[in-house]
């Protein structure tokens, strides 16, 4: 690899090479009129709607894994955060922090991944930033995205809105992302290639809110997995819920890998799954609508809200015992997203 | 320092310690009802105005420097980017990437700095994210902020809008931030303590746009300094401009440090200065309005737009010669913001 194939400190320096990086790489990739203005802030029109705004930084290791890479992850992650309040994704920022010496070709692959998901979902990356830090100050590449979406006036979807009787629905198998990344990192082999579930969930959510206006909560079980998200919602809504372990879809490879590694699939992060709390009367029609979407084909009802004022998650295990499913403790899977 | 004073991998893991970090440190600091919702995205109201949206990542080294720290810098930087399109700052996201083992006390100082500037300027930090990476994968702490602001319907401020005859105004002395950070990093001593100019410019901009509706361009000369920003505007607007070197305010300490280090003050980053392009007829009244603000007390007219279709910046030097002021090449000052 020659020097001109590498990101140099000067690419982050605000001078000529920075200008060229933007002109030659970022502008063509994220091509849209707002970004082209090249002002310090993007100017947006808002159409008098309520807005959603979210951010996440991505530090996944390795940068490329089965089913995705850090770029796809960074765009999907913020789209999904917006979708989880029922917002249609509109605008995104992208900020790259890159280690000196990083391959420009690899950077292009990542940028192209970002662009692909953005185009597919219709979100526009309208502003950005690039920093380069000296070798050894950062492990290769980290990405931050922030997003703005618009929320229809009649939607009120929040982790605070779970109600007694709500059915708890999951959109697909759990743990695929975490185990796919971990396997790549540690060099495990499976008979069949396990892919990350990393995907943008905005279309699935559109289908769901079209089907029912009784979706009370949406949340994507990323870091900390399903266990963390259910506990968060239990605390936010002050509700007690009961989950049936046997109803939770888990791929055989994921189950096997979790057993080998001493992990609970309920703690493993997902990047293209959502959990919905839906009023009992609409639960089955929402479930059917989800199954009509490729990203919801394995959707299942996994539990319900059974009482108020005692915020906790009960798990009916495979052998029929009931135990409390706690918020995960400690760092299970660093740099998984 | 005991283990419980340190950020652990678990603080970024989505489990109990993550929850506690948010509850105990971030929520009290950035106290506002939108953030308290703790959903994946913040829900905002937009009042049917045009919006501005901007992002930047901050990797400054050292984290604390005379006149500021990475937290103050991260909030001011995004506020300033919003202000540079004439936007009133409304909402901000904050995303922290922290090295395992980083001091929680130091983190609190940084968070408090962020909160202080946010409170002072009225911007609300409404959403955020925290990642912790393993020791050695990141040099201590990086911060990303993204911001949303609203733009009055009658404002049209952009780097594309420079016109022949515009006067070019700078809000204060140049190079203070870059030299203050560099001095701290390298251990230089000055007779008087040089402070970074790091400051939020939204109030100064409010004064200016109240004074005149003929402000065509605003830009803050951060990375690459005044030289980079003037060149960017020259290219964007396709205009030729002439700058008078002797009109540019530079502190003696900055000039001395630049001579010692072989730097041109025009290349050194600023974090609380702006450059304005103002129609000739309003230039002096805008200058007076700027001087009424503490952040504009050293404001000066440093040049003008002299022609179109030949995008370049001419510098009339101290000895009366004219030379082209180019876009800086190479990395002058890594990790200065």
Calculate mean pLDDT across residues B187-208: 90
∠ CA A140-B78-B137, nearest 5°, is 20
Whether B53 and A38 lie within 8 Å, measured CB to CB: no
CA distance, residue A309 to nearest chain B CA (Å): 18
CB pairs under 8 A between A and B: 291
Report residue A203: phi and psi, to 5°.
-70, -40
pLDDT of A329 reads 76
Token code pair at residue B149: 């602001």
Give the mean model confidence (pLDDT) for residues B196-208. Answer: 97
Give the C-alpha separation, A302 to A284, whole Å.
Answer: 12
Contacting residues of B for A39, CB less than 8 Å apart: 84-85, 158-159
Tell me if chain B has a CB within 8 Å of the CB of A50.
Answer: yes
What is the DSSP secondary structure assignment for residue B223, as one 8-state letter?
T
A132, A165 contact by CB (below 8 A): no
Of A10, A48, A80, the CB nearest to B331: A10
**Residue A318 burial (CB < 10 Å; 0-12/13-18/19+)?**
exposed
CA distance A19 to B330: 11
The answer to whether the beta carbons of residues A311 and A239 sit under 8 Å apart is yes
Phi-psi category of B108—alpha, beta or left, where left has phi over 0 and alpha has psi -120 to 50?
Answer: alpha
B6 Cβ under 8 Å from any chain A Cβ: no
Q: In chain B, which residue's Cα lies nearest the Cα of A55?
A: B128
Query: Roughly how many angstroms between the first and final C-alpha of chain B, as a whole number?
Result: 28
> pLDDT by residue (tens digit) across B105-138?
898 899 899 999 998 999 988 888 888 899 899 9
Structure tokens at A242: 């009961």
DSSP string, B91-157: EEEEEEEEETT-BHHHHHHHHHHHHHHHHHHT-EEEEEEEEEE-TTSBSSEEEEEEEEEEE-TT---
Distance CA A221, CA A271 (A): 7
Q: What is the pLDDT of residues B243-253, one digit of tens each?
A: 999 999 999 99
Task: Compute the distance between CA of residue B59 and CA of residue A143 in angstroms, rounded to an integer.
Answer: 13
Average pLDDT over residues B280-285: 98
Q: Which residues pair with A6 in a beta bridge?
A: A103
Nearest to A13 among B40, B46, B332 (CB): B332
How far apart are alpha carbons A290 and A208 in whole angstroms? 7
pLDDT of residue B1: 47
CA angle A7, B131, A333 (to 5 degrees): 105
- List % helix, strand, coil for chain B (3-state, nearest 5): 35, 25, 40
Tens digit of each residue's pLDDT (9 = 90 or more) over A127-179: 888 888 998 999 999 999 999 999 888 899 999 999 999 999 999 999 999 99
The average pLDDT across A252-273 equals: 94
Q: Which of A189-193, A273-277, B275-279 has the lowest mean pLDDT?
A: A189-193
CA atoms within 13 A on the CB side of B40: 27
List all residues of chain B from 188 to 207 with a beta carbon under 8 Å from chain A.
none
Assign B229 to helix, strand or coil. helix
Closest CB to A40: pick one of B9, B15, B219. B219
Q: How many Å lie between the alpha carbon of B93 and the closest alpha carbon of chain A?
A: 6
| Predicted confidence (pLDDT) at residue B3 exceeds the cutoff of 60 | no
Q: Which of B46, B91, B228 faces A46 most closely, judged by CB atoms?
A: B46
- Which pLDDT does position B17 carry in this prediction? 73
B223–A132: do the CB atoms touch at under 8 Å?
A: no
Which residues in chain A are contacts of B52 at CB distance < 8 A? Answer: 41-44
**Phi–psi pair at B196, nearest 5 degrees:** -60, 150
Which of A52-56, A189-193, A280-284, B331-335 comes out lowest in average pLDDT? A189-193
The per-residue pLDDT for B329 is: 76
- What does the pLDDT read at residue A41? 61
In chain B, what residues touch A236 (CB-CB under 8 Å)?
38
Interface contact B50-A51, CB threshold 8 A: no
Structure tokens at A180: 């796919």
The larger pLDDT score, comparing residue B333 to residue A243, is at A243
Task: State the average pLDDT over residues B8-19.
Answer: 67
The H-or-E segment that residue B202 falls in is helix B202-211
Q: Does A219 touch chain B (CB under 8 A)?
A: yes
In tens, the pLDDT along A95-126 reads: 999 999 888 889 889 989 999 999 999 998 88
A327, B8: Cβ pair inside 8 Å? no
Facing residues of A240 across strands?
A307, A312
Please, which pLDDT band fits residue B51 given cuts at 50, 70 and 90? confident
Buried b (16+ CB within 10 A) or exposed e, A204-229: bbebbbebbebbbbbbbbbbbbbbbb
Test the A interface: residue of B42, B46, B53, B73 with most A CBs within 10 Å: B53
**A158 to chain B, closest Cα gap in Å:** 6
Report the gap between the CA of B52 and the closest CA in chain A (Å).
Answer: 4
Q: What is the DSSP string of B267-284?
A: GS--SS--EEEE-HHHHH
Over residues A21-58, the pLDDT tens digits come to 767 777 776 666 766 666 666 666 555 678 899 999 99
- Per-residue confidence band for B4, with pLDDT thresholds at 50, 70 and 90: low
In eight-state DSSP terms, residue A250 is -
What is the pLDDT at residue A1?
Answer: 47
Say whether residue A220 is in contact with chain B using an 8 A CB cutoff. yes
What's the whole-number mean pLDDT along residues A212-223?
94
Structure tokens at B138: 């990141």
Per-residue model confidence (pLDDT) at position B169: 98
Minimal Cβ distance to B53: which of A13, A134, A148: A148
What average pLDDT does the segment B140-147 reach?
96
pLDDT tens digits, residue range B76-109? Answer: 999 999 999 999 999 999 999 999 988 888 988 9
Supply B303's token pair.
């040049």
Q: Min CA distance, B55 vs chain A (Å)?
A: 6
- In the predicted model, is pLDDT for residue B294 greater than 70? yes
Q: d(Cα B153, Cα A266) in Å, to the nearest integer?
A: 50
For A286-331, what is each residue's pLDDT tens digit?
Answer: 999 999 999 999 999 999 999 998 999 999 999 999 999 998 876 6
Q: Give the mutation candidate from B76, B140, B217, B331 for the A interface (greatest A CB count, under 10 A).
A: B331
Cα–Cα distances (Å) from B166 to B157, B177, B207, B336, in that order, read 13, 27, 19, 31
d(CA A113, CA A68): 8
Decide if B55 and A129 are in contact by the 8 Å CB cutoff.
yes
Flag if B127 and A55 touch (Cβ within 8 Å). Answer: yes
Q: Chain A residues with CB inside 8 Å of B131's CB?
A: 57-59
**Any CB–CB contact under 8 A between A69 and chain B?**
no
Which domains occur in chain A, in start order? 32-151 (3.30.1330.10), 167-324 (3.90.650.10)
Interface residue B294 vs chain A (CB under 8 A) = no
Complete DSSP assignment for A18-81? HHHHIIIIIHHHT--HHHHT--SSEEE--TT-EEEEEEEEE--SSSEETTEEHHHHHHHHHHHH
């Amino acid at each position: 690899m020659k020097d001109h194939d590498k990101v140099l400190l000067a690419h982050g320096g605000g001078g000529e090479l920075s200008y060229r990086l933007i002109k030659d790489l970022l502008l063509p990739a994220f091509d849209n009129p707002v970004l082209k203005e090249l002002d310090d802030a993007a100017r947006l029109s808002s159409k008098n709607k309520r807005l959603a705004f979210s951010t996440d930084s991505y530090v996944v290791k390795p940068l490329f894994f089965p089913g995705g890479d850090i770029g796809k992850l960074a765009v999907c992650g913020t789209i999904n955060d917006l979708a989880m309040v029922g917002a249609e994704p509109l605008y995104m920022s992208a900020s790259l922090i890159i280690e000196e010496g990083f391959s420009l070709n690899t950077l292009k692959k990542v940028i192209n991944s970002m662009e692909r998901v953005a185009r597919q979902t219709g979100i526009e990356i309208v502003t950005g930033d690039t920093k380069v830090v000296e070798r050894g100050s950062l492990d290769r590449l980290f990405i931050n995205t922030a997003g703005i979406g618009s929320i229809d006036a009649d939607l009120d979807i929040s982790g605070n809105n779970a109600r007694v009787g709500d059915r708890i629905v999951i959109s697909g198998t759990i743990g695929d992302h975490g185990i796919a990344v971990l396997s790549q990192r540690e060099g495990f082999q499976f008979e069949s290639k396990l892919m990350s579930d990393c995907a943008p969930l905005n279309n699935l959510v559109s289908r769901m809110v079209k089907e029912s206006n009784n979706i009370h909560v949406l949340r994507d079980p990323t870091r900390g997995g399903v266990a963390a998200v259910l506990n968060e919602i239990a605390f936010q809504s002050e509700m007690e819920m009961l989950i049936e372990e046997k109803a939770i879809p888990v791929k055989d490879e994921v189950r096997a890998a979790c057993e080998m590694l001493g992990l609970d699939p309920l703690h493993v992060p997902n990047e293209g799954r959502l959990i919905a709390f839906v009023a009992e009367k609409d639960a089955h029609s929402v479930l059917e609508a989800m199954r009509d979407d490729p990203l919801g084909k394995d959707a299942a009802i996994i539990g319900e809200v059974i009482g108020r004022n005692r915020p906790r998650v009960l798990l009916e295990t495979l052998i029929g015992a009931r135990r409390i499913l706690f918020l995960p403790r400690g760092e299970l899977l660093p740099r998984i997203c």
